[in-house]
Structure 1
Amino acid sequence: MEKNRRKKDDAGVMTKTLAGVAALTFLVSFICSSYDITFSHVISTIDVILEESEYYRSTKEWMASSIDATWHEVSIPSRKAEHLQAINPEVDVAAGGKHVFTPEQLHFFDGSRDSKPCYLAILGRVYDVDGKKEYYGPGKSYHHFAGRDATRAFTTGDFTENGLVASTHGLSHDELLSIRDWVSFYDKEYPLVGVVADLYYDSDGQPTAELTDVLARVEKANEYRKAQAVEIEVFPPCNSEYNQNGGRVWCSTKSGGVERQWAGVPRKLIEQTTKKFRCACVKNFGPGVSGAKEVKTSSNRGDLDHPDLELFPDCSPTSNSCKIVS
Structure 2
Amino acid sequence: MAPSFNLGAPVNTALLLYILYSVQKILLPSTSKPSKVPNEFRQGYSWLPKTHPPTVVYQIYTPKTLAPFNGENGGRILLAIQGTVFDVTAGRNFYGPNGMYGNFAGRDASRGMAKQSFDVEMLTPIDQPLDKLDDLKPDEIENMKGWYDHFANKYIICGKLVENDAI
TM-score range, shorter chain: 0.5 to 0.7
Greater RCO, 1 or 2 (C-alpha within 8 Å, sep 6+): 2
Larger C-alpha radius of gyration, 1 or 2? 2
Distance 1:143 1:99, change over 3 A: same
Instruction: Give the Å deviation of 1:183.
Output: 1.0
Equivalent in the alignment of 1:162: 121
> Structure 2 stretches of 5 or more lacking a match?
1-55, 125-130
8 Å contact kept, 2:103–2:120: no
Instruction: Give the Å deviation of 1:155.
Output: 1.9
SS in 1 for 2:72: coil
- TM-score by structure 2 length? 0.58
8 Å contact kept, 1:125–1:196: yes
SS in 2 for 1:139: coil
Equivalent in the alignment of 1:99: 59
How big is the alpha-carbon RMSD for the aligned residues of Structure 1 and Structure 2?
Answer: 2.1
In the alignment, structure 1 residue 196 sits paired with structure 2 residue 155: no
Q: 1:129 aligns with which of 82, 88, 110?
A: 88
CA–CA separation in structure 2 for the residues paired with 1:154 and 1:168: 12
Distance 1:157 1:167, change over 3 A: farther
8 Å contact kept, 2:78–2:86: yes
SS in 2 for 1:180: helix
Residue 169 of structure 1 aligns to which amino acid in structure 2? D
Deviations 1:105-156 (A, max 9, x none): 1110001133x31111111111011011111111110101110002011021
Equivalent in the alignment of 1:149: 108
Equivalent in the alignment of 2:142: 177
Deviations 1:141-192 (A, max 9, x none): 0101110002011021333332123441211111111111111111110000
8 Å contact kept, 1:152–1:167: no
Equivalent in the alignment of 1:117: 76
Residue 153 of structure 2 aligns to which amino acid in structure 1? K
Distance 1:136 1:149, change over 3 A: same
> Structure 1 stretches of 5 or more lacking a match?
1-95, 204-326
CA–CA separation in structure 1 for the residues paired with 2:117 and 2:95: 17
8 Å contact kept, 2:88–2:95: yes
CA–CA separation in structure 2 for the residues paired with 1:180 and 1:164: 18
Matches within 5 A, 1:272-291: none
Residue 108 of structure 2 aligns to which amino acid in structure 1? D
8 Å contact kept, 1:101–1:196: yes
- TM-score by structure 1 length? 0.31
SS in 2 for 1:153: helix
Equivalent in the alignment of 1:108: 68
Matches within 5 A, 1:239-318: none
8 Å contact kept, 1:124–1:198: no
Residue 161 of structure 2 aligns to which amino acid in structure 1? V
CA–CA separation in structure 2 for the residues paired with 1:151 and 1:180: 9
The percentage of aligned residue pairs carrying the same residue is 30
8 Å contact kept, 1:126–1:194: yes
Residue 105 of structure 1 aligns to which amino acid in structure 2? T
Residue 63 of structure 2 aligns to which amino acid in structure 1? P
Instruction: Give the Å deviation of 1:103.
Output: 1.1
Residue 195 of structure 1 aligns to which amino acid in structure 2? K
CA–CA separation in structure 2 for the residues paired with 1:179 and 1:145: 14
